[in-house]
Amino acid sequence: MNRGGSSPSAAANYLLCTNCRKVLRKDKRIRVSQPLTRGPSAFIPEKEVVQANTVDERTNFLVEEYSTSGRLDNITQVMSLHTQYLESFLRSQFYMLRMDGPLPLPHRHYIAIMAAARHQCSYLINMHVDEFLKTGGNAEWLNGLEYVPQRLKNLNEINKLLAHRPWLITKEHIQKLVKTGENNWSLPELVHAVVLLAHYHALASFVFGSGINPERDPEISNGFRLISVNNFCVCDLANDNNIENASLTGSNFGIVDSLSELEALMERMKRLQEEREDEEASQEEMTTRFEKEKKESLFVVSGDTFHSFPHSDFEDDMIITSDVSRYIEDPGFGYEDFARRGEEHLPTFRAQDYTWENHGFSLVNRLYSDIGHLLDEKFRMVYNLTYNTMATHEDVDTTMLRRALFNYVHCMFGIRYDDYDYGEVNQLLERSLKVYIKTVTCYPERTTKRMYDSYWRQFKHSEKVHVNLLLMEARMQAELLYALRAITRHLT
């Protein structure tokens, strides 16, 4: 205790001798450049979020209660635009990270790191590197997958599939993991891991989709500055078109355009609602519509990829990969369209045959008690969340829109609802939105501010955050459904 007494004024706060700080922690962090914009999100003006925050005592309480880091991080700040949802989110996240569960605490964070690494989400990785060390994790593991026990390493395969092509998960994968042996997983452990993986894949979507800025480290103000690496981080990538976009959205013609856009959307919604009874599409028609949506999602991004990813960007991508890739194997593995040309035989996942409510819940809850209820509440919450507003309009029933978003995400993962007319998706979701959805759910790391800005220009930021929440939860549910179905098949 005889160190660090040099600045008596700081005694009121606290004294930390330098060697008490884990120097190591900073080494393991992935270096990030300072964000260009202030505030929690690069996409959303700071005042939007902050304003909402100051009013909200509830958020602070929730953070107090459920946050693992003990501070109001940027994700929470952005999510606090929807306090109702935030509560379920934080509760379930807290439960899977901190409460009773089959996996030891450091493992949970390591799994989170592995999941986030699939999408090169440095924000989440840094966060969990901290937490990993704080919970007593072995610092050596942070050197990469080669340093972790074989058992955790075995999770890599399922992590990869779950993140990018969950429909490929079969009961053989499960069997391989639970097969008795030295490094086998018990089913409860596996379910815990799967829930964590799905949660963090989906959360990575949210982070990129909402342009979450890196945390401003309290240490920085203490004079420790992180070396910023120019144009290195993905978040920068997300910020690339900052100025250009500002001018775009600000221009008059944009507003006019988007106003009519909004009107048109509302008009379509109304028409759909009325038309329902009259127009009876044949079954074949319905099937074709689903297939069409599925296929169309193919082209949705491929065109855009060229546009927003000039060659130089891809190079950046590679550099990032090298830094993050120590947590993953096979970094080249990415989303591949469910309905790839020439590969038609992949069976569609019939939602009615394996639903979250009937099947997924029971299995999860059986093997990892109580998480089922929390996830159930979260899914229900996000699906039913509405303020009955659309941009400037009030008293709008947005059920249709929410359902379209949710089902469109599932559609891209090959999950089909018998009772849904996929023609609706086409009518309700404009192309720029589809691009955004596809990017956020399938390649979140490629999301740019332009994409975020280009759809629903008239809508409020909080509404766009709501969209992100829907996408995130839909994605998580899709991943869980595939993984749990494989586990069920393994069990029978």
Partner 1 sequence: MEKMSRVTTALSGSALTGRTMHCHLDAPANAISVCRDAAQVVVAGRSIFKIYAIEEERFVEKLNLRVGRKPSLNLSCADVVWHQMDESLLATAATNGVVVTWNLGRPSRNKQDQLFTEHKRTVNKVCFHPTEAHVLLSGSQDGFMKCFDLRRKDSVSTFSGQSESVRDVQFSIRDYFTFASTFENGNVQLWDIRRPDRCERMFTAHNGPVFCCDWHPEDRGWLATGGRDKMVKVWDMTTHRAKEVHCVQTIASVARVKWRPECRHHLATCSMMVDHNIYVWDVRRPFVPAAMFEEHRDVTTGIAWRHPHDPSFLLSGSKDSTLCQHLFRDASQPVERANPEGLCYGLFGDLAFAAKESLVAVESGRKPYTGDRRHPIFFKKKVDPAAPFAGLASSALSVFEMEPGSGSMSWFVDTAERYALAGRPLAELCDHNAKVARELGRNQVAQTWTMLRIIYCSPGLVPGTNLSHSVGKGSSCGLPLMNSFNLKDVAPGLGSETRLDRSKGDTRSDTVLLDSSATLITNEDNEETEGSDVPADYLLCDVEGEDDELYLLDPEHTHSEEPEYVLPQEAFPLRHEIVDTPPGPEHLQDKADSPHVSGSEADAASLVPVDSSFSLISVSHALYDSRLPPDFFSALVCDMLRFYAEQGDVQMAVSVLVVLGERVRKDIDEQTQEHWYTSYIDLLQRFCLWNVSNQVVKLSTSRAISCLNQASTTLHVNCSHCKRPMSSRGWVCDRCHRCASMCAVCHHVVKGLFVWCQGCSHGGHLQHIMKWLEGSSHCPAGCGHLCEYS
The answer to whether residue 20 forms part of the interface with partner 1 (CB under 8 A) is: yes
Distance CA 406, CA 468 (A): 10
Among 7, 14, 150, 312, binds partner 1 (CB under 8 A): 14
Minimum distance, C-beta of residue 94 to partner 1, in the bound complex (Å): 12
Distance CA 226, CA 1 (A): 28
Residue 121 is a catalytic residue: yes
The answer to whether residue 218 forms part of the interface with partner 1 (CB under 8 A) is: yes
The answer to whether residue 13 forms part of the interface with partner 1 (CB under 8 A) is: yes
Name the segment binding partner 1 (CB under 8 A); options: 15-23, 176-184, 404-412, 473-481.
15-23
Burial (CB count within 10 angstroms: exposed 0-12, middle 13-18, buried 19+), residue 324: buried
Among 359, 457, 460, 490, binds partner 1 (CB under 8 A): 359
The answer to whether residue 64 forms part of the interface with partner 1 (CB under 8 A) is: yes
CB-nearer residue toward partner 1: 172 or 418: 418
Minimum distance, C-beta of residue 380 to partner 1, in the bound complex (Å): 8
The answer to whether residue 305 forms part of the interface with partner 1 (CB under 8 A) is: no
- The pattern of x and - marking residues 266 through 295 that bind partner 1 according to CB under 8 A reads ----------x---x--xx-xx--------
The answer to whether residue 353 forms part of the interface with partner 1 (CB under 8 A) is: yes
Name the active-site residue from 17, 121, 233, 411.
121
Residues near partner 1 (CB under 8 A), total: 43
Name the segment binding partner 1 (CB under 8 A); options: 203-211, 361-369, 464-472, 475-483.
361-369
Any residues with CB less than 8 A from the CB of 165 and at least 6 apart, and which? 335, 336, 338
Minimum distance, C-beta of residue 492 to partner 1, in the bound complex (Å): 5
Distance CA 256, CA 206 (A): 29
The answer to whether residue 23 forms part of the interface with partner 1 (CB under 8 A) is: no
DSSP secondary structure, 309-375, as one string? --HHHHHHHHHHHHHHGGG-S-TT-----TT-TT-TTSPPEEGGGS-IIIIIHHHHHHHSTTHHHHH
> 389, 394, 470, 395: which is closest to 429 by C-alpha?
470
Task: Calculate the CA dihedral of residues 216, 142, 91, 195 and round it to 10 degrees.
Answer: 140
Question: Using CB under 8 A, which residues numbered 123 to 142 contact partner 1?
Answer: 133-136
The answer to whether residue 15 forms part of the interface with partner 1 (CB under 8 A) is: yes
Any residues with CB less than 8 A from the CB of 390 and at least 6 apart, and which? 262, 265, 266, 396, 398, 401, 459, 463
The answer to whether residue 175 forms part of the interface with partner 1 (CB under 8 A) is: no
Three-state DSSP state, 214? coil
Three-state DSSP state, 271? helix
CB-nearer residue toward partner 1: 331 or 360: 360
Element holding 394 (H helix, E strand): strand 393-394
Distance CA 147, CA 137 (A): 12
Distance CA 452, CA 44 (A): 10
Footprint of partner 1 (CB under 8 A) = 1-2, 4-5, 8, 11, 13-16, 20, 64, 69-71, 133-136, 218, 276, 280, 283-284, 286-287, 350, 352-353, 357-359, 361-363, 366, 373, 376, 418-419, 488, 491-492
